[in-house]
Amino acid sequence: MRIKQKYIIDFAKGVTWALVLFLIYFFNQQNNITAWIYFCIHGSYGIMWVLKSYIFPDKTWESKVGIPYATLIFIGLILYWAPAFIITSSGHEASNLVTVASIIIFSIGVFYHFVSDMQKFIFLKNNSGLIKDGFWNQCRHPNYFGEFLIYSSFLLLVIESPQWWIPSAILLLFIVAVWIPNMLKIEKSLSRFDDHQDYKKKTAFFIPYLF
């Protein structure tokens, strides 16, 4: 039996709001504003991801995988819930400065991630070749940059907690083991276009205008 990767990812991200809500009540954190802010940002991100998956899907996640690999994907996605467990189980509350920074970073991340994915979807639906304008004029992987900001905003809410290193290590693991290999795979695929080298020289790899 094989299953599309998108179904596993959509399910894991789509139930995030329900999981966080359960944890808030299970650990009696109804008065913890940090828990509710986390519920809002991570929960809404999960809902937006599912909507994106059906409105402007990414072909990357359309491929089918076997049950063992599907299980591995789901376990990996569960690790992203680490900040939720830390906040609710320990009663951690972020400072006002950190909370404001988290919300701002999340908002910018959502903008970069979803709008650049929408731009890519519309372009590839009607064209072929390199996308060299809009977000893709700033860096070659703006959607990954946006996702990095989104997950960094979740991490930031527990940065003052003794357990801050757990979600930090998880995010770093995903960047090194999943994100970078995927971005390099995309780079290799796009190298078939004649103007790729010129485009590569003029744009940043991951962080707009910088790196």
Q: What is the pLDDT along the chain (211 residues), one digit of tens a residue?
A: 888 889 999 999 999 999 999 999 999 999 999 999 999 999 999 999 999 999 998 888 888 888 888 888 888 899 999 999 999 999 999 999 999 999 999 999 999 999 999 999 999 888 878 888 889 888 999 999 999 999 999 999 999 999 999 999 999 999 999 899 999 998 888 888 888 888 888 889 988 887 7
Is beta strand 64-66 parallel, antiparallel or unpaired with respect to 2-4? Answer: antiparallel
The two structure tokens encoding residue 104: 């701002």
The two structure tokens encoding residue 71: 């299980």
What integer pLDDT is reported at residue 140 of this predicted model?
Answer: 92
Please list the residues that pair with 65 across neighbouring strands. 3
Please list the residues that pair with 3 across neighbouring strands. 65
Q: What is the largest CA-CA distance in the chain?
A: 59
State pTM to two decimals. Answer: 0.93
Q: Identify the three-state secondary structure at position 204.
A: strand
Cα-to-chain-centroid distance, residue 37: 17
**Whether 46 contacts 93, CB under 8 Å:** no
**Using a CB cutoff of 8 Å and minimum separation of 24, what contacts does 166-169 make?**
166/82, 166/86, 167/82, 167/83, 167/86
What integer pLDDT is reported at residue 45 of this predicted model?
Answer: 97
What integer pLDDT is reported at residue 125 of this predicted model?
Answer: 86
The two structure tokens encoding residue 134: 């809009």
Which of these, 55, 56, 74, 72, lies nearest to 7 by C-alpha position?
74
H or E stretch including 3?
strand 2-4
What integer pLDDT is reported at residue 160 of this predicted model?
Answer: 97
What does the DSSP assignment read for 121-146?
Answer: HHHHHH--S---SGGGGTBS-HHHHH
